[in-house]
Every structure is written in structure tokens, then in C-alpha cells.
Chain A
Amino acid sequence: MLKKGLLVKNLLSEIWKTRTRYLSIFAISALGVAFFAGIRATSPDMKDAGDALFNASNLSDITVMSTAGLTPDDIEALRGIEGVEAVSPGLFVDAMMRTGGDEEKNVRLFSMPIQEKEAYGQLIDMLPSYDINPAPEYKMNALELKEGRLPVSDKETALDVKLQEEAGIALGDYVTFETSGGTASLRVVGFVYSPKYVSVFERGLSTIGNGNCAGFAYASGNALTRLGTKLPILGLLSTVYTEADIVISGKEGISAFSDAYEELVDAVSTRIEAYAETTSGTWYIQDRTSNPGYSDYSENTERIAAVGDVFPVIFFIVAALVSLTTMTRMVEEQRIEMGTLKALGYSTAAIMMKYVVYSISACVLGGFLGAVIGFWLLPYVIISAYSIMYRLPSFATPYRVDIASVAIIAAMACTSLATIAASASALREVPATLMRPKAPKAGKRVLLERAGFIWKRLNFTMKVTVRNIFRYKKRFFMSVIGIAGSCSLLVTGFGIQDSIFGIAEYQFNDIWKMDIQAYTYDSMPLEELQNLAADSKASSHFRSVMFCYDTVCDAKSGDARTGNVHVLGVREYAEMEGKIRLHSSGTEVPLTDGGAVITKKLAELTGVDAGDTLRIYSGAQAYDVLVAGIADNYVYHYVYMTAAYYEQVFGKPMEYNAFMVNLDDNATEGDMDAISEALLTDSRVYTVMTLTSIYDSIMKTKYPVFSGFLAQSVGIMQK
């Protein structure tokens, strides 16, 4: 082993003297590693944040419902099933909530045990009580209070925070819940978050109104019984629950996003199913993916992970190129020093060590800094952006040694290979050649010179430039690749941003052509809705009206399940003219009575093609729809069908709950407002939206996350 003390000193002062160069390798490595580590860590960080929320609130793993209701015996039986940790029976009902300010919201009302029940005595002992909590110490699906307190009496309710904001309700206000079975007026005592609703916006489906749930509420079980729960044998004298939430055992230390968790849940579900066979009702056994927004969140964590697979590679390529160019230049500048050291008798390896250590140390130090920043910054930015859509009360951004090691080792491999490539060729030369200034590359004739008529017209500088391109091919290609890499990053970034926002533009310019959409609370026969529209003061502005039925379902094909699918029934295809354009890449996709037209993304997600069958679920009921065609669409999922086909699928004549209007050409923005107002005076009308307001609401609520950074990264995978 040679003594290298002075080579080390030489290296150190080299680093100091060429610190800007050293910093460029340091910085590009830091950037590459920060991106890699940050994006890779985001997915596990998001999963951890989800797990933290689910564990803190002890979110139930399985929810069972039965068409016959769940009896205390069923509950006992469920408790006895292997793998069931706890069972919490309860009631829920979909109700229309009316506020003092005449706002109406479609709400799912859940029962909750009232802990302080004893204080109210045994007033209603002859009625079945839904408020007795058999295990008061065991808390499941714990609500988190934003304001106020939880209900302590049968006359109180705690509302979804989303309703507080949307319906303008304050603590102490009274709200009225209405169902076909009854009415209950309750005092709002608190605003809560529920772990069952991980999404900020999504509240899932409702069995009433337009099928879209606007929020949830909690009240005592006795309050709910006043509303009726639409169960066949909800007798007065027997306790029957609508659902039971179940927490399974043995999931300690297992992430809810892991396969192991899924297996646990599946095993318990299978055992519950076996029990269900012995009862009279039809049971529905749902896991957490039925919770609104839950599977979306889980998909988003995967999406980010997928971005982490591809995106950082570009940075590593750029990092390798920067190292290669930097080190090539450095080696070329130091030929004489390398030659001198060779002349003094130093070995090639000893001399090369300087350059390898130079670049590797820059890379590793940069990598560490990058990891420190990346593990914090990227998950922070991405998760903060996602917390616009999901409730993520707390998330941590820990350092992850495994990811950091992979990133730093990869960056190190890139730079050291680049350095060895740059210095090896120089050191292969004999020292005498190294000591001489490098002979300039020989000038060469280029093909262009044959084209005399062009060549003659070039001036001297141009000729030199053209010849140099071919003379220094390596430099030329390094520039080309470097610029290509940077440009591709920029173009993807802007392109994705553009395509996301552009897609919305496309939806509004090319697909949706109506001016106004109006929805009623309840569906009604065509004639009634036609009269409603015609009687309105606004009707004088209508040029044409399309009457339709819009309801929200789930769609399923094989294992793929997609929520929030709009089934849109129209009287006949011709009426869609000028309202909704069905086309695929410019070719018209006509709607016939023989099948439905579904939108492209839905077809992709469920994997169905024209001619296939798509199964849609309205509540628990499943219907098979023949897919006759697939049309372009960019916002929401749609299954379009004619009234005739609707009747064939659902086995009943279609009723109508919406109409879309094209206004006179001379209708102004002010007219639009007046028309909305006029339509809303009819108590049957639920909501009126102008295309402009739809545009705003989609751009503001659906895509805030896609601005800036995320637009650039997440979008890659969304295409």
C-alpha cells in the first residue's frame, strides 16, 4: 500500500479550490436523492397517517347489514365469531335535514350510544332501547369533536363538519330530520369528524333524494326510531339493529393498506358469511373500502408510489450527466497533474482515487442533505395538498433508512461510474501523452459540404459550427441529452398541468353544451316535470329542454368497483342534441334503446368494452347493463341510457328528476341568475346549476391538488 497522505491533502485543497464544481455535483445529488427519497417516502407516510387516524379512532374493519335487520341474537353470534374483537350494533337512516334557514340536505343519520343515559332514568323502559352500550369502555369509530360536545339526550344531535360549513348551521340551532317514516327535530350540540369518512367532500350514496349524500349526523338510537329505519320488522317491542360495526382482532402492527390486513378481514368476513347463511335475511358484509373516500385514499397512496417508481429516474439520469460532464472537464484540465503523478511513480488507481473520492464524497454528502430535506419536504407538500381532499389530522415525515440507502447508493453508483468513465480513458494513456496538451480533434469534412449550394452560402462561423458538431460528437450528444432531460421534465410538468385543466376545458366546451341543469328532490312522471318547467317564470328564456333522470350508483365488473357513477336516463337520444355530446375521438356514439353508452374512464376502470355487460348497484340491488358504446368524458362517470332501455334494466318505467336547458342566445349572466331564482321558488326544485357554476365548483373542489408540484408528478400516472 502506497502512502497517500499528500494525495489526500491535494484532494482536500482541490475540493476547496473548485468548490463551485464540487457544489454542482453535491447539489444535483441532493436534488436527485431528495426527489427519490421524498416521493418514495410519501406513500408510506400517507399510509402511516391513515393508520394513525384509523387506530386512534378505532375504525371498524367490517360493517354488516341484513335485509331482516340484526337481532340481539345475531349480535351475540357475531361476537362469538373467531377473529371478532368487538361488535357495535347501531341504526342508520337516510333523512332529509331541514335547517331553520330553509336549507335542505340529504343526510345519513347514525345512532350513537349515549353514555350518560343513567342520568335520564328509566323513562322509556317499555320501548326497546338502542342506547345501552354493552361495553361502555370500548370505543369504536370514535368521533372527533371540532366544536361543542356529543349528544347526551334523545333531543340532541352532532353534525358533520361539512354540513356546518355548507348549510350555515350554528351550535344551538334546531334541525329537522324527515323521512317517509317520521320527523325528528333535534338541537345541534356539536360538530364532528367521523373516521368512517376519510374524505373531506365525499359522503357516499343516499337512498333518498338525488342519491347523493351531503353529510352525516349522529343522534341517539331512540331519536332514530322516531324516523323509522325502513326495515321490515322494526317492531315496537323487539330490538332490531340496521347495522353492526365490527373490529377484528390480531391486526396489531399491521397496516390497513397491507395485504396481510386484507387477508385478515377476508377470513373474518368468510366466517360471518357462514353465519349469515343460517339466518333469514340477506346479509351485506362490507369492509372499509365501502367507506366513502376510503378506497380513493388508498388508491392515491399507490398512485404516489407509482410516481416514485418512474419520476426520480429522470433525476438520476440528469445527475449522472452532470457528474459526467463535470468530471470530464476536471480530468481534462488536470491532465498534466495526472501525468506528473504518473511520472513520479503513482499508480493509475491511486491517481484515479482523487477523482472518484471527489465525486463520491460530493454525491454522498449531497445525498444525505437531500434525504434530510426530501423526507420532510416532499411528503409535507404532497400530504398537505391531499389534506384538502382527505382529513389527515396528523402525519409524520420520518427518515426512512431503507429508502435513503437505496437513493444514496444509486446516486453514488451513477456518479462514480461517470467519474471512472471520465478518468479511465485519460489514465489509460501513457504519461508522456498526458503531459502534452491534448491534441485537438482533427477537423473533418461533413456531408453538408457536398451540398455546395448550401455550404457556399454559410459564413465562416457557421461553417466552423457545423464542422464542430461532428468533430465533438460526445459533447454534442451530452448537450442534446442534458437539454432533452431537462426539457422532458418541464414539458411533462406543464403538459400534465395543462392536460388536467385542459381536460376540464374540453368537458365544458365539447361535451357539456347545456346552459343550466336543474334537479328536483324527488323523481316524478315526465308530465309533472314538464309542467314544472313550463310553469316556471323562467321558461320564456328556454330554447330547448331535455328531461332526464340522474341517480348515483356504484359500478362493478369482476373485482373492479367504481363508486359515484351517474346513471343518466333520457327520454330519447334526439333530445340530447345540444345538451350532451356523445362522441369518441370525434365520431358520434349514438344512444339506442338496445343498450347504454358509458364514459371512457369508467370503461377503463371496470375493464369493460362495447358489447360487455356492466353491473351497477343501486343500494344493495344489482342490475346488469349492456354496454353499447363508449363515449369521451372527463369529469365524473356516466352511464347514459334511454327511458326504454332504463325500463328494461330496472324493470320499472323511468321517472324524471332533472332537466337540462339551452337558453336563448341573448340570455345574459344576469338572466341566468334570475332564471335560477325563478326555478328555485318551486319547492320541488332541489338545485339549479349554471354551467359556469359547475365549472367553478369542479375546478375548485376537485382539482386543487393538481396545481403546482403535484400537477407535475401525480399527473404522469393519471394519464
Chain B
Amino acid sequence: MAYISLKNVTKTYHMGEVTIKALSGVDFEMEKGELCVVVGPSGAGKTTLLNILGGMDSCTSGEIVVDGAHIEAYDRQKLTGYRRDTVGFVFQFYNLVQNLTALENVELAAQICREPLPAETVLREVGLGERLSNFPAQLSGGEQQRVAIARALAKNPKLMLCDEPTGALDYQTGKQVLKLLQDTCRKAGMTVIIITHNSAIAPMADRIVHVKNGTVASTEINQIPTPVEKIEW
């Protein structure tokens, strides 16, 4: 059985009298240690898919299995534990706590995990050894996103979920961040899912999932992923 497997996952939102079908039967699988890029146009349901997979939202129907565990059956408390120990999130707008320094932001995530990595080491690994005691507002966008990645990494999760990690970054910085994610996947053997509307970055992945209208349109296995340095858009 695949490390991660989604079967016929649907999600319906009720907005007053209006019903919106965000996911209408998503099926896909991926293996441990893979880098997966989910591409698709805005409104296709990429973020919803990621949120459901990360325990940030519940699905309406279907089956989600991560490392043998059925996430769709979890209650609130179990989902909190799942988010704490299994998943690391990287958001488009970094979502750092403004009142805490870079180091403290990473520790904030690590202090409640079962097997965290040392926060300082992780920050050095992402190249922020000199910025440990800076507050988010004192860091550039790219640096903030690297703190966010360090925060996700320090939790030592089974799964890293990145929602448009380069969406708010310029080309060069975006590339650096993607490189960091690719390296993390390769060196640490981390399972990483990146969602993006930019199909140009898809070649960096081991697996490319095309999402359209709330369903998976196609899945490609990329035998020889392109190093990020070689990708241009």
C-alpha cells in the first residue's frame, strides 16, 4: 500500500444557501520520500486538498490514509495530535508569530513535538545561523519563508505540506526556497507536497498531480526530476 493514499475524497462547503463543491472525488497516491507537485489553476481545489491531507479541514466523504492511519476518521483531539506530530506546514504568507524571534518561532513548533530536531541546528541548515534572534519583521520575505520551512522541519514530521511557498516571493528567492525544499526531500528523505499554480516548476518533482475542477485530471511520474537550478520560468 502507498505511503499516502486518497480515495474518492470530496469536500462540499455550504455558504448560506449556496453549496460549493470544492473537491468532487479525488484519488491519488504517493510514496515515502517523494517530492510531489500539485498543479492546477486557481479554484481547482488544490488548497482544499492540502488542508484535508494536513488535518486542517475535514473531508465530506472519502478515505485518506497516511502511513496506514485513516485520517478521515479522526476526531478534533486526534487531528490536533496529527498536526502536531505528523505534519509540517509551509504557508504562502509564512504565518510566523510576529512577537517571537526566528529561533523562538521554530522552538514554538518544536516544543510540543514528540521527536523534534534542535531548532538552532535546523535554522543553520536553512542558512539563517546569523539571524536567530531577529524578529520576523526584521527579515526579508525569503528569509521568513526559510524560517517557516525550518519551523516545519524542526517538528521532524512524516509529511511536509507547502501551499504556494513561492507565491509571495520574487523569482530568485522563490528558486532558493524551492531548492531548499528539494534538498530537504533528497537529503532528509522527507515526503514533501508542494502546491502551485505555476506548472513551470513541476519538472522538479518525482510526481506531478494535475488538479482541475476539484478532481485529479492526471498524474505523472517523473523518473528524472530536474534540479531546481535548471528550471526557469
Contact = CB atoms under 8 A, between A and B. Distances in A.
A446 interface: no
A387 interface: no
A135 interface: no
B112 A2 contact: yes
Contacts of B107: 6
Interface residues of A, number: 29
A347 B83 CA distance: 10
Interface in A429-457: 430-433, 435, 439, 442
A651 B97 CA distance: 93
A99 B89 CA distance: 98
Interface string A341-383: 1111111100000000000000000000000000000000000
A17 to B, nearest CB: 7
Given A347-B80, A432-B51, A336 B95 contact: yes
A431 B83 contact: yes
B25 to A, nearest CB: 19
A343 B80 CA distance: 8
Q: Is the interface of A mostly helix, strand, loop or mixed?
A: helix
A344 B91 contact: no
Nearest to A346: B112
B111 A343 contact: no
A340 interface: yes
B132 interface: no
B41 to A, nearest CB: 18
A345 B85 contact: yes
A270 interface: no
A10 interface: yes
Given A6-B100, A10-B99, A435-B95, A345 B56 contact: no
Interface in A450-496: none
Contacts of B76: 348
Interface in B132-151: 151
Interface residues of B, number: 31
Contacts, number: 82
A342 B99 contact: no
Interface string B89-115: 101000101011000100111011100
Interface in A1-22: 2-3, 5-7, 9-10, 13-14, 17
Given A6-B100, A13-B99, A435-B56, A345 B108 contact: no
B99 A343 contact: no
A343 B54 CA distance: 8
A348 B80 CA distance: 9
Q: Which of A17, A344, A430 has the most CB of B within 10 A?
A: A344
B15 interface: yes
A323 B77 CA distance: 29
Interface in B61-98: 76-77, 80-81, 83-85, 89, 91, 95, 97
Contact of A340 (B54, B58, B77, B95): B95
B56 A9 contact: no
Nearest to A340: B95
B92 to A, nearest CB: 10
Contact of B109 (A5, A339, A344, A439): A344
Contacts of A344: 83-84, 89, 108-109, 112, 151, 155
B167 to A, nearest CB: 14
A13 B101 CA distance: 11
A191 B148 CA distance: 85
14 contacts: A6-B107, A6-B111, A9-B99, A10-B97, A13-B100, A336-B95, A343-B54, A344-B84, A344-B112, A345-B85, A345-B112, A430-B57, A435-B91, A442-B15
Given A347-B80, A432-B48, A432-B57, 4 more contacts: A10-B97, A340-B95, A346-B84, A435-B95
Interface of A: 2-3, 5-7, 9-10, 13-14, 17, 336-337, 339-348, 430-433, 435, 439, 442
